[in-house]
């Protein structure tokens, strides 16, 4: 389940300005925020279904997306941010570390967890 030009869906808990920043950083990639696609206030299941329908990797602070029982094999990928504080600047810094050190094929179909000090990628394939 690989996508040539990566697509990302930023969950509603990701600061909205991060979306524009990512679009500037990676103009060939597609970044959408839940507020862009009418998903604000939606359940995790609805966000996950949308991401699967459109082939997007979910970017979130929500620990529920890291629950392998609920969101297991066969998804396009989840990036779970475990950083503090959850400011725009810290979020941008964490995502920059990820995108500067990781190739997109590693992220697709994987659970990626970013902490202050490391990045863990668990392939779900």
**What DSSP assignment string belongs to the chain?**
---SS-EEEE-TTS-HHHHHHHHHH-TTSEEEETTTTT-TT--HHHHHHHHHHHT-EEEES-GGGG-TTTS-TT-S-EEEEE-SS--HHHHHHHHHHHHHH--HHHHTTEEEEEESS-EEEEE--
What's the predicted TM-score (pTM) here? Answer: 0.92
**Fold of the domain spanning 7-123:** Rossmann fold (3.40.50)
- pLDDT for the residue 75: 81
Q: Where are the domains of the chain?
A: 7-123
- pLDDT for the residue 123: 84
- pLDDT for the residue 1: 45
- pLDDT for the residue 64: 86
- pLDDT for the residue 65: 81
pLDDT along the chain (125 residues), means of 10: 77 97 97 97 93 95 79 79 96 97 92 95 80
């Amino acid at each position: 389940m690989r996508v040539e030009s990566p697509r990302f869906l930023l969950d509603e808990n990701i600061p909205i300005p991060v979306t524009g920043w990512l679009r500037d950083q990676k103009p060939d990639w597609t970044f959408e925020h839940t507020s862009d696609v009418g998903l604000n206030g939606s359940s995790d299941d609805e966000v996950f279904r949308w991401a699967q329908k459109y082939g997007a990797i979910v970017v979130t602070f929500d620990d529920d997306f890291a629950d392998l029982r609920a969101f297991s094999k066969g998804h396009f990928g989840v990036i779970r941010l475990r950083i503090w504080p959850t400011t725009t600047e810290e979020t941008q810094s964490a995502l920059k570390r990820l995108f500067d050190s990781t190739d997109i094929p590693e992220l697709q179909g994987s659970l990626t967890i970013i902490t202050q000090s490391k990045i863990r990628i668990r392939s779900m394939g």
